[in-house]
């Protein structure tokens, strides 16, 4: 029997690799002789670099960069075979790097992301994969451009300070100092949102509040992004502000696409392709996937739905294991999941639940395996 474990991370408790390992331990108690393959997955956000580095035998590289408020930190990225790198922008521009009382997207910047890109270029990388998710910024990636050598100038020809608010004063863009290596680089961005850059569904309105933006800030930031897009287009770059995904990561999707000619791809599809999940699934009897919570939203670009579609294409049954399961779980069965199981055993504090996540996943997986074995026994009678 061959069983593939392909979960996403369980946020704040387990990485995707840890979740897959816990699932395997549970199944192995019932099927000790089975063939197991652990293939951690991600959808472009947290865990994307982990998934690719693990699957492709990559190497972790650390570099000193700026955090969203310009403070020095060490961030890491993955060095992959074939002169490629994978960078999660949250490593340098993540919301988790800014305390709740410091969050202000008028001032936060993606400068550190540009520094990580420069470091990867210095290591010879010419193909860079970016995971767009978890940012504390709303500067459309302008800070990234500044770190890469682009000069963003005001009406007096002076460099703009970093931050989302200052984009309202942008007057000119100069790319003469951009390193030649950047022009040789191919960018792909893993993106799981479809928001445009501006407007009611744009970066500022939809994602700004969770980054600390007040209603007044949202208006100012949206206006600044619209002006930024006008200037970018006026200087000969593509105007992609209305394209799906341009609002990702505080508008970084726009700059990656318009200025760096990046391809924006659904995160789970990119990760499945890079890890060659389809090949791993061949001959499998069962696939187990999951994430911290599964509900009706799972169908929209999340890891379990991507794994489900890949398995369905090969006629393989799929079971989900999640920390919690929403009240609309019937929608998951309608998608094609044979069953979905929550792992929380009893009411407890969030701290205790997170601390016992690995045990709960392992215990649940063991029970799932026992039920699966029961079904197999019935079939052989």
Q: What dotted CATH number matches 48-267?
A: 3.90.1510.10
Asked whether 228 and 139 are in contact (CB, 8 A), the reply is: no
CA 12, 16, 18, 21 torsion-angle sign: positive
pLDDT of residue 321: 97
pLDDT, tens only, 83-96: 999 999 999 999 99
Q: What is the pTM of this model?
A: 0.86
32: three-class secondary structure by DSSP: coil
Residue ranges, the chain, pLDDT below 70: 379-381
Beta carbons within 10 angstroms of residue 141's beta carbon? 33
The span from the CA of 211 to the CA of 293, in Å, is 22
- Domain coordinates of the chain in residue numbers? 2-40+285-379, 48-267
Non-local CB neighbours of 12 within 8 Å, separated by 6+ positions? 292, 354
pLDDT of residue 297: 79
pLDDT of residue 379: 66
Q: Where are the alpha helices (DSSP H) in the chain?
A: 16-28, 48-56, 90-93, 111-122, 142-147, 180-183, 203-207, 215-234, 248-258, 267-275, 277-281, 303-313, 330-335, 350-355, 357-379
Number of H helices, E strands in the chain: 15, 15
The span from the CA of 328 to the CA of 335, in Å, is 12
Beta partners for 79?
59, 85
pLDDT of residue 4: 98
The two beta strands, 35-38 and 2-5, are parallel
Taking Cα atoms as reference points, which of 97, 83, 82, 139 lies closest to residue 114? 139
Beta partners for 85?
79, 128
2-40+285-379 classified as CATH 3.40.50.10350: yes
pLDDT of residue 157: 95
Long-range residue pairs from 351-357, CB within 8 A, at least 24 positions apart, any chain? 353/13, 353/323, 354/12, 354/13, 355/13, 357/10, 357/13, 357/14, 357/22, 357/323
Residue 260 to residues 148, 172, 237, 274: CA-CA distances in angstroms?
A: 11, 17, 9, 21
Asked whether 123 and 76 are in contact (CB, 8 A), the reply is: no
The span from the CA of 27 to the CA of 271, in Å, is 25
Non-local CB neighbours of 365 within 8 Å, separated by 6+ positions? 22, 23, 24, 25, 26, 27, 288, 321
pLDDT of residue 381: 55
Taking Cα atoms as reference points, which of 82, 93, 135 lies closest to residue 116? 93
Asked whether 24 and 38 are in contact (CB, 8 A), the reply is: yes
């Amino acid at each position: 029997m061959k069983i593939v474990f392909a979960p996403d991370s369980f946020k704040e408790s387990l990485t995707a690799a840890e979740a897959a390992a816990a699932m395997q331990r549970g199944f192995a108690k019932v099927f000790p002789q089975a063939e197991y393959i652990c293939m951690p997955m991600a959808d472009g956000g947290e865990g994307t670099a982990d998934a690719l580095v693990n699957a492709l035998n990559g190497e972790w590289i650390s570099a000193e960069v700026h955090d969203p408020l310009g403070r020095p930190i060490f961030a890491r990225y993955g060095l992959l075979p074939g002169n490629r790198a994978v960078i999660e922008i949250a490593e340098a521009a993540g919301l988790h790097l800014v305390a709740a009382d410091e969050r202000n997207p008028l001032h936060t910047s993606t400068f550190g992301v540009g520094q990580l890109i420069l470091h990867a270029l210095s290591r010879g990388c010419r193909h860079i994969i970016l995971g767009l998710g978890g940012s504390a910024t709303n500067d459309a990636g302008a800070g990234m451009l500044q770190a890469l050598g682009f000069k963003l100038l005001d009406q007096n020809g002076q460099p703009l300070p970093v931050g989302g608010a200052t984009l309202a004063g942008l007057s000119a863009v100069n790319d003469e100092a951009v390193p030649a290596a950047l022009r040789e680089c191919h960018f792909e961005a893993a993106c799981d949102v479809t928001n445009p850059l501006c407007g009611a569904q744009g970066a500022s309105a939809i994602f700004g509040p969770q980054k600390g933006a007040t209603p007044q800030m949202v208006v100012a930031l949206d206006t600044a992004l619209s002006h930024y897009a006008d200037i970018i287009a006026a200087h000969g770059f593509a105007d992609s502000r209305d394209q799906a995904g341009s609002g990702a990561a505080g508008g970084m999707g726009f700059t990656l696409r318009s200025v760096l000619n990046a391809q924006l791809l659904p995160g789970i599809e990119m990760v499945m392709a890079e890890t060659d999940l389809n090949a791993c699934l061949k001959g499998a009897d069962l696939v187990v996937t999951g994430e911290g919570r599964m509900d009706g939203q799972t169908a929209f670009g999340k890891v379990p739905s991507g794994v489900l579609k890949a398995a369905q294409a090969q006629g393989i049954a799929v079971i989900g294991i999640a920390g919690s399961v929403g009240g609309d779980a019937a929608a998951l069965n309608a998608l094609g999941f044979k069953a979905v199981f929550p792992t929380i055993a009893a009411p407890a504090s969030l701290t205790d639940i997170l601390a016992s996540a690995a045990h709960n996943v392992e215990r649940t997986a063991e029970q799932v395996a026992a039920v699966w074995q029961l079904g197999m026994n019935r079939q052989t009678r």
